[in-house]
Structure 1
Amino acid sequence: MTDREHLKETHVIDYLNPPAIGDFARVGLSSGTATDVLVYAAGLAMDPDTMRRRDDATTIADETRICLANIATILAEAGVTLREVVKTTCYLRDDAYRGEFIEAYRAAFGEGPYPARSTFVLGIASDLRVQIEAVAVRSTSS
């Protein structure tokens, strides 16, 4: 038995692609993956039809809010919320976006506690300026 077969046999693995976010399967993307313990979600403000930034992602704050709203939708499909997020990895196209990004990010998580976060400035696919990945923990009753 391969390691992957053993993993599937011993853990629940669900691929999360909420219709509200759109279908990215044609380009080899899944919006999220959930195991019996962890949920992984990727937030993009990308239109799945054009593969370009959504029209409503005008500002960095808008784009950040959309990314986190999409993550919340993915997490909800696995029965968790942003409150269960323990780690995010955030990507910004330009360091000049950091201030506006942080304000919108903090607003999404409210008064905290805040998950551990790594933020990188680098090139991102398409014309996106923000991308966020999140890891959440499922409770044993989920």
Structure 2
Amino acid sequence: MIDYLNPADLGDFSPQGLSSGTATDVFVYAAGLAIDPETMARRPEAESIADETRICLENVARILADAGLTLRDVVKTTCYLQDEAYRFEFLDAYKGAFGEGPYPARSTFVLGIASNLRVQIEAVAVRPDAG
């Protein structure tokens, strides 16, 4: 069974061929972006790297909520930054979202990201009642 998770309050990205998340009986995959689906540009409230990181993780949390999960169920994130100079502000905001830990495994890459985005976060969560 595969469920596609597209919370209406995050916007409809289907015209761009995107799904915000996918849930199986074991794993839930979620992508967090601070992107406006109308303009396909960074949302105005994502002024700082910390703001953008917070919005990305709030979106991930919102997608996970549709599957009955929280950030505490995340076991792995892949994070993309547009510039290495963002790493300290990003890390402070990232750790703030997960609290005192434990923290999921994380890979962070510096590379070009679509539109004028500076941060993108992908998360993998595991259903606690799986297997």
- Using the size of structure 1 for normalisation, the TM-score is 0.90
Map of 1:5 onto structure 2: none
Instruction: Give the one of 112, 115, 119 matched to 1:123.
Output: 112
Q: What one-letter code is carried by the residue in structure 2 that aligns with 1:34?
A: A
Map of 2:36 onto structure 1: 47
Q: What are the ranges of 5 or more consecutive residues in structure 2 without an aligned counterpart?
A: none
Local SS of the residue matching 2:102: coil
Q: What one-letter code is carried by the residue in structure 2 that aligns with 1:106?
A: K
Local SS of the residue matching 2:109: strand
Following superposition of structure 1 onto structure 2, how do residues 26-105 of structure 1 map, counting pairs within 5 Å? 26-105=15-94
Structure 1 stretches of at least 4 aligned residues deviating more than 3 Å after TM superposition: none
Structure 1 residue 135 corresponds to structure 2 residue 124:
yes
Matches of 1:117 and 1:20, distance apart in 2: 27
Bigger Rg, structure 1 or 2:
1
Q: What one-letter code is carried by the residue in structure 2 that aligns with 1:69?
A: E
Map of 2:97 onto structure 1: 108
1:102-131 superposed Cα distances (whole Å, 9 cap, x missing partner): 000000000000000000000000000000
Matches of 2:89 and 2:119, distance apart in 1: 11
Instruction: Let me know the Cα RMSD of the aligned residues.
Output: 0.7
Matches of 2:129 and 2:46, distance apart in 1: 36
Give percent identity, aligned residues only: 75
Q: What one-letter code is carried by the residue in structure 1 that aligns with 2:10?
A: I
1:15-39 superposed Cα distances (whole Å, 9 cap, x missing partner): 0000111000000000000000000
Aligned residues: 130
Matches of 2:52 and 2:71, distance apart in 1: 17
Matches of 1:94 and 1:140, distance apart in 2: 38
- Using the size of structure 2 for normalisation, the TM-score is 0.98
Deviation at 1:49, TM superposition (A): 0.4
